[in-house]
Amino acid sequence: MLKPHAATIAATTPPPVMEARRWLAGVSIPADRPLLNLSQAAPVAPPPPELRKALADAVEDDSSHLYGPVLGLPALRAELAARWSAQYGGHIAPEDVAITSGCNQAFAAAMSTIAAPGEAVILPTPWYFNHKMWLDMQGITTIPLPCGAGMLPDLAEAEAAITPKTRAIVLVSPNNPTGAEYPPALLAGFVALARAHGLALVVDETYRDFHSRQHPVHTLFADETWRDVLVHLYSFSKVFRLTGHRVGALVASPARLAEAEKFLDTVAICPNQLGQRAALYGLQNLQGFIAEERAETLRRRAVVEAGFAALPGWHLQCCGAYFAYVRYDMELDSPTLAQRLVAEASLLVLPGTMFAPKGKQAAKRQLRIAFANANTQELAVLFARLAAFGP
């Protein structure tokens, strides 16, 4: 008989990317049709040479191998605070910043200060599956908020979904899995809604560096009272290709960070020292590289948009950052189609059912395609294989 907490783990769905990789077992991939893996939203290339050199230099620093401050290196906290203040047109102090072991840990740490088992958090759906998984593990109820046109959540529907047990609303922009970029006015509306109901608004901007708009993409930090409601999450992994070094950030009031410190000290003690030094070097020296990565991602986005516009039976519902979220006309549910695409087209993508509540009908005809790791030639291969595929 499982104990109550063990039962929450057992009831949590398996990690979708790992599950999709298991579809490859026993599948013969023809040599003339190599696998095109569009399932994971993470860089597969190493960091740029100058960043690898900075990492190598950091290895020679004795302090890189010791415990550091629980909330992160002071220099990195100060650098991020200064840059975000300038880019968002607001005031963020170093004391408002914590460095975490990746953005998923930032989310978990934030939630440890926001909601307890039996309380509730609103997630727009399609949702980022790791957010849902963490809430499930903690016994926190997820309230789904369906997205409408443009894959944007509706303020009136969000307000109607609030219950006495609701403690937060979580937004991801640019969105994973849909790529949707939430307009500044919509984000401001959610701040006002959260404030009116005494909720936290958690905004995950993991993919902010690939936004189609130049900064500022919103002005939420321009309000001097932002600390009363806003919790901001970020990842250094994507733009600096530091996925293996696990470096993220949590921006919130010092009072909230003091509570999050209890969680962070318990689960990791401190963030990875080498990764933090790499992130600091990147912020200080690689602004040109960031611009190049953004421009290349936007070029690939344009190829994807044009490709689906010319592909009968496929409908691009949203596209942005690393992601294309598509609907199709075939009479196949999305898990079946996704697995058949592996075997018959050497394409690995994720079904919409991995991002939605069980039984959500729309998800059964949707796929997420993480296109950022595919160059323009590989994207041409994607559309050729989709055009040739038939049920």
pTM for this predicted structure: 0.94
Please state, in angstroms and rounded to a whole number, the distance separating the CA atoms of residues 335 and 277. 41
> pLDDT tens across 355-372, in order?
999 888 889 999 999 999
Residue ranges per structural domain of the chain: 4-46+289-388, 49-286
pLDDT of residue 201: 98
Q: Which CATH number fits domain 4-46+289-388: 2.60.40.1220, 2.40.10.10, 3.40.50.2300, 3.90.1150.10?
A: 3.90.1150.10
pLDDT score, position 26: 83
**CA-based radius of gyration for the chain:** 21
Report the pLDDT value the prediction gives residue 5, as an integer from 0 to 100.
60
Average pLDDT, the chain: 94
CB-CB contact of 182 with 211 (8 Å) = no
pLDDT tens by residue, 224-237:
999 999 999 999 99
Once rounded to an integer, what is the mean pLDDT over residues 64-83? 96
Q: pLDDT band at 2, cuts 50/70/90?
A: low
Phi-psi category of residue 248: left, alpha or beta, with phi > 0 → left and psi -120 to 50 → alpha:
beta
Fold matches, 4-46+289-388 and 49-286 = no
Confidence of residue 160 (pLDDT cuts 50, 70, 90): very high
pLDDT tens digits along 101-117: 999 999 999 999 999 99
Q: How many CA atoms lie within 13 A of 77 on its CB side?
A: 21
CATH for the stretch 49-286: 3.40.640.10
Tokens of 234: 């970020």
What are the Cα distances from residue 61, in Å, to 80, 143, 273, 291? 22, 47, 10, 30
What tens digit of pLDDT does each residue of 267-285 get?
A: 999 999 999 999 999 999 9
Q: Mind giving me the DSSP string for 24-45?
A: TTT----TTS--EE----S--S
User: 201-248 pLDDT, tens per residue?
Assistant: 999 999 999 999 988 899 999 999 999 999 999 999 999 999 999 999
pLDDT at 229: 98
